[in-house]
Structure formats: structure tokens, C-alpha cells
Structure 1
């Protein structure tokens, strides 16, 4: 692999493999890719001087495959203050946006940069992005910290659906969050997500920038791969080597689509717009999030159905209802997240000119393509990318938002089913207890006459001592037991008949009394009215 700041042929297999390894290195700070339809080159860890030379060299019109596109990716922008300020000055970032990007995230070790970033403060407007799996690192704020000193990350922790769009003279910025699912530790932590910021900037010179919040020490290649998953997927497919080996379900067409549309007036705009879309759309992460919630819902459904066969002496699973409650809260948060995401897509598609900061140039609509590829004419989103954003919005409506509503309805149905099952089991247990109590009462009544007879035979009275034999005792015992059993059977039936009859009599008496009382009241009212 070439030294820092030098470019190599990204289509070369050795360079491609080395680039993949380096992009998964936690120490990698940034990379730049320039590509066209037939050629791509990549450079890693550019310093501000290298980037300034790249800007000063311009775009070689004789080699359109080189200047057609520049993709700049920066990890941990708070650790690269000089580089961020260079980009901010060139593309006219607003002071607020520049300060937000340079803000130090909480629980992050101090940067090793030559310049301090502690002075950069900004109120962060939260936003949304798609979820992928990762390891969570809790973020906490000191109790003594007041609302006046709250950082952007503290605000984003409390509010999920915030979103922000900045449109400048030469750039348009969409701030996203990457919530990463963490491993389950307790019921309250099930499905919780860590939100990492992801800034995506589309510039008017066919440049796309992506800036990732510093996650702090990760020390886990798989976790780092998960956090950078979509970015690395897009990066690998900008090379011919990666595109040929890509999974068909996640295949993107950025370089391959250049020049296919004869109506497109500028392939640079076409490429930058489509790359911007693919960086924006992490659709595989959406599926993984939905699948995780669906699997958890099916697991809880299995636990509830298994509770039907629970033995009477075993206590019910008291974790089911809290887990369903937490799952419902996560799904509602996801619904709000993707509702805001849908709104963000609408804002991107419907961005109007004249909204920019500074010179007044802003995001142009796909219909206003007169300034395509000319710096200072505003940011242009190609029609092909606009159509992709529209389809993404439709998928969010039809699959995600409708799916969350189905999740919530199924969650409520599971709660209702769980309580119905427990109510039914409680009713069965009560019925068993009632039958047992009735059986004990009948046995007591059955043996009561025999007990009295036995007490009579065992009484120490001189007149009856030695008057009865054992045979006579057992004959009397059999007779008393038979009479008691027959009496108990008929008495229980008679008791039921008497009880039902008394209930009917009481009901008829109550209705008759009510009718008589009503008639007398009405008659009394008529007499009073007649006297008047």
C-alpha cells in the first residue's frame, strides 16, 4: 500500500485488498477516492496540505475519469480540526455546522491533534439514520452539567427524531445518526441502540463528503466493521474488484451507470448524486433491525404459548410483560425514527433554491440543471438519484412504517393473549380448588353419622356395655354409611334445586316489588297533578 497522501489504482487487486484492510484499521483517519467510469484511485490519511494540493491541482479535462468524482471520508472529525476547517472554508460551511462537527463526543479520549478542540461548542440537533449491529458504550452526562452547557450529543441522547439540513453556497449537508444495536444485558437494555453521528455532504463540484463521529476506542474488528459497514460496502464496490464479487442483494451501480443515460448532461453530477444516495441508504441495516425485532417478538410469542403447558405448581414467567413493554417502546422509537427519516428524504427531494447560507445559492431541484457541474451554481441532485430517493421513501412507508404498526398491534395482541391464558389457568385452578373443597365437605358429611355411631358404641355406660357384638357394629356401620351416602347424594341435588328455586323466587319478588312501587309512584304523581 502506498504511503499516506499518495494515490494508487483502486482497480488493482493488491491495492483493493490492502485498502479493505486499511479501512478496517482503527487508526485510519480518512481516505479519498477519485473515480470515473473506467478508472478509480484511492489515497489514505491525507493531511490538510495533501488535500490543499489536491484542490489546487484542479480537474484534468483530458482525463475525465479522474476528475469526475471525489469521495472524501473522514472518521472522528473532532480529531482532525485543521482538515475540517480547510473543508469548511472551501465549501462555505456555516459556523454553527463547523463547530458541531468539531465538538468532542462524550466519553472520548482526548485527541492527539496539535490543536485543541475544547473551545468548539454547539447545540446538536439530533437526527436519524439506519440501524446496524454493534457494541454499545454508554454515554453519561455529569449531574452538575446544566442545560446551558448541554452538548449536541447530550441532546441527541434525549431526543430521537431530530433532523437537520444545512444548505450552503457550495454544499448541502444532511446530518444522520447511526444507531447501533447492543448486546442484551437486562430487560430494559433489550433492543437499545447507540446513536453515532454521520454527516453526509454533497458539494457543487461533484464532491461528496462523509464524516463519522468518533466512537472512541473500539478494540474489536467486528464491531468496527459493523459500524463502518455501509461505508465500506460502498467503498469496495467503487473498485471493479469489489463490484464483481459483491452480493447481488447489496450491489450498487455508481461507476457502471456513468455514461449510460444519454440525456444526462454531466456524468460527474450523475455519479456524485448516486453515490450520495447509496451512502444515505443503508437498506440492509433496516432489514437487520426489523429482523431483530421480529425475532424477539417470535421468541416472546413462543414463551407465551409455552406458558399454556405450565404446571400448576410452577409460577408464571414474570419477565414476559416487561419484555413486551420494552419491545413496544423500541418499536415506537423506531417508528418515530423512520418517520423522521421519511421526512428527511422529502426535504432532500423537495429542497428549493435560494436556501443557502452566505451567497444565497442552495440546493437546486432536478428540473433546474442549467448550472450542472459549475462551481457556485448550487448543489444539483440528478434525476436518477431523485427517483431512488422516492423509491426509498415508498419502501419506508410500505415496509417499515406499516411493519412497525403491525409490530405494535401484534404486541398488544400478545399481551392480551398472555393475560387471557393466565386468567383461564387461574379459573381452572380455582375450579380445582372448589372441587377439592366440595369433596372434603362431602367426605366430612359422609363420615359424620358413622363417627357419631362409633362414639355411641364406645360410650362407657353400664347398661350398653357388652350389649352389642362386633357383627352388630359392622351391620349398623354399613347401614349408616349407605344412608349417609344416599342422603348426601339426594341432599346435594335437593340443595341445588332449593338454591335455584330460591334464586328464582327472590328475582320474581324483586321484580314484582319494583313494579308495585313504580305503579304506586305514578299513581301518586297523577293525584298530585290532578289536585293542581
Structure 2
């Protein structure tokens, strides 16, 4: 187990909430997040690959924010069990390298009542890279131990199951077919477990996403009465968990000119895929879990890997910096400012909503990640639009079938991106969807429906055992505050307008470029055929021009008895023959429509007919004029 990160500054006076937990790690690691020197230490830890987790409790006023890095599962258990003061109304727990912190995730799952399947996916081990033995040797020792222990447990379990099955079959019926069927089913189940691991699934299906809802977070709803703000139901418990792949643009200056075609595979976008979990839980707690981009690297990262790490953590670091009131880098940049703790209004109406808006806003801005979501497709100076424009220019110069192959792979990448953004839309729809009770959900249950839920003292309506729960408190899911809902709706519109429409336009352009490429190839072939025809006609004309001269020369070369030819007579005959041949060739070219290598566009009979028709029409006009 790694040693928790302890700031080098001396211990500070912490609120009684942290002092009373009785945990030394909590007292030593938590620091005031609004103090400059503490923030500088924590800010550097967010960009450190070995950092495992951090926890931030914050309120609205300056000094009501405390942060700690790399706490163990026992410290988090103490924090979750201790009632948090009202001034620290929101908590953010961020976890990196989840496969190395299974005890911590199990603590959170036990407290917030995760499903066993959700816990299993969150604590899944990474699958070794395919067809890359060198990277497999870089697997960290902790990951190796977890994988080996999992394999040994699976082997022991399979052996015990086989022994029990064998004994049961021997005692019941001595049937070889049933024994073979049992072993076949067991082996098939083990193959299914090996082949369908969580990280293998999200790596093969980039648009894979999930939205789960439970009962461990308070509903937030808007009061319809004038003068009232957001209120929380004291008894309504639910939670929301979303899982999705985020894509990060990791192109460098060297590869920026040819960003689309990747050496690893040509059918997925050129970017770094990172799986993320986001949970909105009770007590206004937000949990974020991110996949480690380099799970099999042992030791320090190289320069390129550090750049990729900074890119994948860019949004997390930005949200982290916006939660402090100490001076932060790029604080004045407009696009990096988030209205979570930094607000301008100070009226009663504004301040009354801030404690209830903060969890939903934090949940939203962790999901939004505007730069990663739209950097791959929306920016015009590089990406798919620039690649399609480059291919278009190359086609206009020299069109060939290799361009069709490149366009095919670009289309596959755009299709993957389209499904990814559609999965984001689906997540937003599920987050904004209001859960309503149905007759099926109320039948044969302990839910008080209708007016019965308004009665303060729960009467005994039926004789079934168990507590009676009001209808509103039985619904799953979480109703976000209005501030978060408005931003989720805006993000959905942005995805449709700036991502999906851009992808559709690029796909249409890709299809048009494919057709243009074939048309250019056809035009190129027609030009080649026309040039070949022109050369053939030229050679034929030369042959026609010199054939009479050749015959004449053959005649003069014959030795007739009593007849001698003079040189002057030869050249005189040559001139007349050559001139007559040239005149006839010009006349033939003009009549056939092949003068100066032009292609015949109409038949000779049609040409004679047109000439005769013009002559007849012209003669009639002259006759009328006379």
C-alpha cells in the first residue's frame, strides 16, 4: 500500500470535524485549500502520475475548503461515517488507478450501496495490450499480483466446482453425457469471463456507456411557491452513476499534418481513450473514477507519456483549480472559469441557491470536458476537415485508388465518433429524465400512493410486513438542480450542433470525395484514351503521307531495259506525289473531322447531310431575296 501524500507545511488548525475522526492520516493530510502554499502543493499533485486519489470538502465562504491527497480506505471510511458540517456542503472524491485501490472502492460501494456488478466493473483489472509483448513486461507489480491472484482464485473455484459436480453426478446417475455437459458449461463460462472483461469491452466498443440509478442521494427539486429556493427531501434517497469513454486529442506537432492515419489501427479515431465513472451520491458527494492511461508502465513516464497524462487530466485539473479561492494559473481565462465557488452576485436569492447548486454543477463540469469532447471534430485547422481537404487537393493533382482506401478508413473513424457523441446524448437524456411511479411499481409493494403518502402518520393499509415508504421517496434516480439541468440541456444542443452536424457534414463530404475520385479517374482515363487516339491518328497520317512516295521510289528503283531515270525527274515526281498526298490528307482530315487530332463527333453521312442542308437553305434564301 502506498504511503499517503503529506504536505511539507506544518500541521494546521483543522475544524473539529477532521480532528474528531481520530484518524492520523486525516489530521496530517487535510489542509486549507484556500491557502496559497497548500494549493501549490496540491496543484502539483494533480499532475503527478503516482497520485492515487484526493478528497475536497468545500463551502461557499473563503476558508471553507479543505483538501487531502492519497488517503487510504480507513480514512475515507471515517470521513463517510462522520456527519459533515453544513458549511462544507459539497464533497468531491477523485480516484485514479482504481485497480490499485480496490479496498477504497469497496468502502465507497458499501457506504453508498453499489450493485455487485457495478463494484466488479469499477475494480476490474486492465487487460494486457494485444500483440505487444514488450508492453506486457512493463506491468506494475500490484497489477500482476492482482491478476495472478484472480487467476488462482478462478482456478481454485473451477477445480472445486468440478469436484462437486463430479461427486453429484456419480451419486445421482452414472451418465457420461451429463458429466461432459457440466464440464462444457463450466469451460464456456470461464471463457466468457476471460473474453468479456470490462476494460476489454470499453476498448473494443468506444461508444459503450452506462447510466445506473439507486437510492443513496437526496432528490433536489424546485419549489413552485414564490420566495422559496431549492429544497432537499429529507427522506428521498437515490444516486446516479454514469460511465463513458472520453476521447482526448494527443496529436503532436510532428503528426499534426497527417493526424488521421494511425499506426495502431486505422478504423478508430486518433486519440487517447479513457474510461470514466461519475457518481452523484448522498450528502452532496460527487465521486469521479478515471482509468489509468498507462496501467502497465513501471517507473517514471517519458516526455510523450507525460504530455498525454496532462491532456487526459486537463479538465480534472481545471475543475480542481476552480474550487479554490487562492490565485490559480489562467484564472482570468474566460473558458476556464466555472461558477461553482466563484460567483459575482451576493443577493439573498443568489446565495440561497449556491449550496444546492454546487453538487450538480460539479457533476456537470466533470462530465462536460469541452476541450476533449469537441477538439477532435470541431476545430477547423486540423482534424478530419483538414484531412479531407488535403485528400481533395491530392485528388485534383493525381487521383488514384489509394485515396478511396484512405477515405474508407476516415469514414470508419467518423462513424465511431458519431456513435460516441450519440452515447453522450443518450447519457444526457437519461440524466434529465424524470422518474415517475407506475401502477406496476406500486402493485404488491409497500409504497403509499396518492393521498395516502401525504398522511403524516403511516396507517396500516395492508397486513404485509415491512416499512411503508411514500411514493415520491421510492423513485430511483436524482433530480438535478435547475442550474445543472439547464447546462445539461445546453450541452446536448452543442453536441448536436457542433459535433454530430460536423460529423454528418464530413461523412457527406467523404462520400462526395469518393464519387469525385472515381470521376477523376474516369476523366483521366478518357484523357489517356484521347491522347492515344491522337497519336494513332498522327501515325496513320504520316503513313498515308509517305505511302505514295514509297511506291514512287520503288518505281524509280526498277531497272527497265532501255530506260534510265534522271535525278531531276525523280525529285519532280517526288514533289508532285508528296504535294498531292498532303492535299488529299488535309482534305480527308477535314472531311472526317480529325483535323489536328480532333476526335470525330459525327458521322460522314451526317456531315454531308448537314452541308447539303445548309446549301439548300442558303439557296432558298437567296432566291427569296431576288
Matched, 1:157 2:203: yes
Q: Does 1:24 align with 2:24?
A: no
Partner residue, 1:490 = 587
Pair 1:118-2:205 in alignment: no
The correspondence of residues 407-446 of structure 1 with structure 2, limited to 5 A, is 407-446=506-545
Pick closer, same or farther for the CA change 1:360–1:273 going to 2, 3 Å. farther
CA distance in 2, matches of 1:289, 1:360: 50
CA distance in 2, matches of 1:498, 1:291: 49
Instruction: Give the number of equivalent residue pairs.
Output: 459
**Structure 1 SS opposite 2:93:** strand
Of 494-503 and 378-387, the range deviating more from structure 2: 494-503
CA 1:308/1:59 → structure 2, altered by over 3 Å: closer, same or farther?
A: closer
Q: Quick one: which of 603, 615, 624 aligns to 1:500?
A: 603
> SS of the residue aligned with 1:209?
strand
**CA distance in 2: counterparts of 1:484 and 1:304, whole angstroms:** 50
- The TM-score, its normalising length taken from structure 1, stands at 0.77
| Alignment-derived partner of residue 510 in structure 1 | none
Give the match's secondary structure for 1:112. helix
**Contact map agreement 2:55 2:68 (CA 8 A) in 1:** yes
Aligned counterparts of 2:386 and 2:551: Cα–Cα separation in 1: 62
Contact residue 400 and residue 517 of structure 2 kept, 8 A: no
Deviations 1:355-377 (A, max 9, x none): 99xx999xxxxxxxxx9xx9x99
Please name the residue that 2:369 is paired with.
282
Counterpart in the other structure of 1:337: 420
What residue in structure 2 maps to residue 132 of structure 1?
none
1:218-251: per-residue Cα shift (whole Å, max 9, x none)? 6222111111121111111112223762521232
Superposed CA deviations along residues 14-38 of structure 1, whole A, max 9, x for unmatched, are 2222222211111110011111122
Q: How much is the aligned-residue C-alpha RMSD, in angstroms?
A: 3.5
Deviation at 1:436, TM superposition (A): 1.2
Q: Give the C-alpha shift of residue 349 in structure 1.
A: 0.6
1:447 to 1:340, Cα distance in 2 relative to 1, 3 A: same
Counterparts of residues 106-255 of structure 1 (less than 5 Å): 106-107=127-128, 109=139, 112=142, 118=150, 146-149=191-194, 150-170=196-216, 171-181=239-249, 184-186=261-263, 188=266, 191-215=269-293, 216-217=295-296, 219=301, 220-240=305-325, 241-242=327-328, 245-255=331-341
**Alpha carbons 1:182, 1:193 under 8 Å: kept:** yes
Is the Cα–Cα contact under 8 Å of residues 94 and 287 in structure 2 kept in the other structure? yes
Q: Is 1:9 the equivalent of 2:32? A: yes
Unaligned 5+ runs, structure 2: 1-5, 9-24, 129-135, 155-188, 217-238, 252-260, 448-469, 594-599, 609-626
Name the TM-score, length of structure 2 as normaliser.
Answer: 0.66
Cα distance in 1 for residues equivalent to 2:436 and 2:52: 34
Match of residue 301, structure 1, among 389, 411, 419: 389
Determine which of 51, 56, 74 is the counterpart of 2:95.
74
Task: Give 3-state SS (helix, strand or coil) of 1:174's partner.
Answer: strand
Instruction: Give the secondary structure class of the aligned counterpart of 1:290.
Output: coil
CA positional deviation for 1:305? 2.7
Cα deviation, residue 378, structure 1: 7.2
1:32-111 equivalent positions in 2, closer than 5 A: 32-37=55-60, 38-39=62-63, 40-61=65-86, 64=87, 67-107=88-128, 109=139
Q: Contact (CA 8 Å) 1:250, 1:284: kept in 2 or not? A: no
How many angstroms apart in 2 are the aligned matches of 1:377 and 1:320?
51
Any conservation in 1 of the 2:268–2:412 contact (CA below 8 Å)? no
1:175-230 CA-partner distances (Å, limit 9, x unpaired):
11123456644482673445321000001211100001233146222111111121
* Structure 1 residue 448 corresponds to structure 2 residue 448: no
Determine which of 578, 586, 590 is the counterpart of 1:481: 578
Corresponding residue SS for 1:178: strand
For the Cα contact (< 8 Å) 1:103–1:118, is it kept in 2?
Answer: no
Provide closer, same or farther for how the CA distance between residues 461 and 19 of structure 1 changes in structure 2, counting only shifts above 3 A: farther
Matched residue SS, 2:341: coil
Q: Is the 8 A contact 1:237 1:243 kept in 2?
A: no
Secondary structure of 1:401's counterpart equals helix
Indicate if the aligned counterparts of 1:30 and 1:75 stay in contact, CA closer than 8 A: yes
Deviations 1:402-438 (A, max 9, x none): 2211111111222222222332232222212211110
CA distance in 1, matches of 2:215, 2:268: 44
3-state DSSP class of the match of 2:533?
helix
Greater shift, 205-214 or 236-245, is seen at: 236-245
